[in-house]
Amino acid sequence: MSTQTNPELAISVKDLTKIYGERPAVSHANFEVPLGTVCGFVGPNGSGKTTTMRMLLGLITPTGGSGTILGQPINHPERYLHRVGAMIEGPAFYPALSGAENLRVLATLGGYDTDMVQGLLNRVGLGDRGDSKYKTYSLGMKQRLGIAAALLPSPHLLMLDEPTNGLDPAGIQEIRELLRELANEGTTVFVSSHLLSEIEVISDSLVMLRKGEVIFAGKTQDLLLRQQPTIIAKSLDSQDLKKLLEIAHNAGHEGTIIEDAAHILGPTEWAPILNKMAFDAGIILSQLAPVLPSLEETFFEMTGDSE
């Protein structure tokens, strides 16, 4: 397992593979995560996200391939895990201990100052519930405690598996802000989710997984720009929409009518040209908006299904 180390990378994996019996859970995964960025790790349930994270954390042994975390090979997790915070497969703590005591167990184990526990609880919004037993926590509170535990080592790399599960919209917003804040402080955040819309908002780069294979790894914006934007046009007279589609078709752009608007595939810069062509044809447009496809739409477009 040898992988060239690049000091600019938090994570680098090459041909990482995990096979259970005959079934490949992760197959020849190749991707890199630059230091100091928020990287979304997306894919549907069962696509291999958690298995990949487990391999990166040394919890399971890869069947093949190699990788480095913070410049250290993944087959020596003891060399890098003291700089890594992680919450994987959801939060898991001792039900009979309080939230604070659970954190103290991990702080003691990792050799961190137990005095920092209250500060971490405050940071994730559990400051006043630290003394309550873990078993009394709601799912959202458990999730927050999991994030607090991941922050114990003041990590250079934070790996979170579905951190917003069970959180209400306000909680999701808080976690988003927290992750962005951590990235601004220099922490690399590698966050998995099957909620693509969530990841789209917070990530600088993406690793997209489907059926154990990486189908995209790179900047989020690059992925979205790969897809053709849609120009949504509405006219004062809805009878004109068919005529508008015909104009677009003649100009080499396909489209369709959805409800009371024409959705025409075309680059953003073609929108004013369409506007002029419509005007010349006597069509007055009441709305003209180029819309980039969402990450979700892009994902379905790339995978060719809507799982």
Partner 1 sequence: MIRVFFAEWRKLRRPTLFLGTMGAVAGVTALVTSLLFLLIDSARGNAREGQMVTRQTLELAHGLTIGFSSSAGLLGLVALCVFASQTAQEYTHGTLRNLLVRQPKRLTLLLGKFLSMCSFALVSVIVSATVSTALAFGLSGKAKVVTTAWTTADAGTSLIHTFINVFLSVIAYGTVGMILGLVFRAPIPAISLGVAWLLIIENIIAATVKNSGKWMPGQLITTLSSGGDFTASYSHAMWVVSAYLVVGVVVISVLFRRRDVAN
Contact yes or no for 93/145 (Cβ under 8 A)? yes
Q: CA–CA separation, 229 vs 222, rounded Å?
A: 13
Asked if 101 touches partner 1 (CB under 8 A), the answer is yes
Return the number of the residue (110 or 119) whose C-beta is nearest partner 1: 110
User: Least separation, in Å, of the C-beta of 191 and partner 1?
Assistant: 16
Asked if 100 touches partner 1 (CB under 8 A), the answer is no
Asked if 19 touches partner 1 (CB under 8 A), the answer is no
- Cα 11 to Cα 26, 35, 264: the distances in Å are 16, 8, 39
Pairing of strands 261-265, 255-258: antiparallel
Tell me which of 1, 6, 8, 92 binds partner 1, using CB under 8 A. Answer: 92
Q: Give me the residues paired with residue 157 across strands.
A: 84, 188
User: Least separation, in Å, of the C-beta of 113 and partner 1?
Assistant: 12
Return the number of the residue (91 or 229) whose C-beta is nearest partner 1: 91
Asked if 253 touches partner 1 (CB under 8 A), the answer is no
- Cα 77 to Cα 124, 154, 186, 252: the distances in Å are 27, 17, 21, 54
Q: CA–CA separation, 32 vs 41, rounded Å?
A: 11
In whole angstroms, what separates CA 73 from the centre of its chain? 24
Q: How much is the CA Rg of the chain, to the nearest whole Å?
A: 24
Instruction: List helix spans (H) across the chain.
Output: 49-56, 99-110, 117-123, 139-151, 169-184, 196-202, 220-226, 240-250, 271-280, 295-303
Tell me which of 104, 129, 142, 253 binds partner 1, using CB under 8 A. Answer: 104
Q: CA–CA separation, 236 vs 144, rounded Å?
A: 50
Q: CA–CA separation, 50 vs 224, rounded Å?
A: 24
Return the number of the residue (78 or 128) whose C-beta is nearest partner 1: 78
Asked if 127 touches partner 1 (CB under 8 A), the answer is no
Q: Which of residues 41-80 bind partner 1 (CB under 8 A)?
A: 51, 54, 57-61, 77-78
- Cα 128 to Cα 132, 138, 141, 150: the distances in Å are 9, 14, 11, 19
Return the number of the residue (61 or 184) whose C-beta is nearest partner 1: 61
Return the number of the residue (9 or 103) whose C-beta is nearest partner 1: 103
Backbone angles phi, psi at 103, to 5 degrees: -65, -35
Interface mask (CB under 8 A) for partner 1, residues 228-247, using x and -? --------------------
Asked if 35 touches partner 1 (CB under 8 A), the answer is no
User: Least separation, in Å, of the C-beta of 236 and partner 1?
Assistant: 58
- How many residues touch partner 1 under the rule CB under 8 A: the total is 32
Asked if 225 touches partner 1 (CB under 8 A), the answer is no
Q: Which of residues 140-169 bind partner 1 (CB under 8 A)?
A: 149, 152-153
User: Least separation, in Å, of the C-beta of 273 and partner 1?
Assistant: 55
Return the number of the residue (124 or 288) whose C-beta is nearest partner 1: 124
Asked if 97 touches partner 1 (CB under 8 A), the answer is yes
Asked if 22 touches partner 1 (CB under 8 A), the answer is no
Residue in 98, 159, 108, 161 with CA at minimum distance from that of residue 130? 98
Tell me which of 8, 95, 139, 246 binds partner 1, using CB under 8 A. Answer: 95
Residues of the shown chain interacting with partner 1 in the complex, contacts defined by CB under 8 A = 51, 54, 57-61, 77-78, 81, 84, 86, 88-90, 92-97, 101, 104-106, 108-111, 149, 152-153
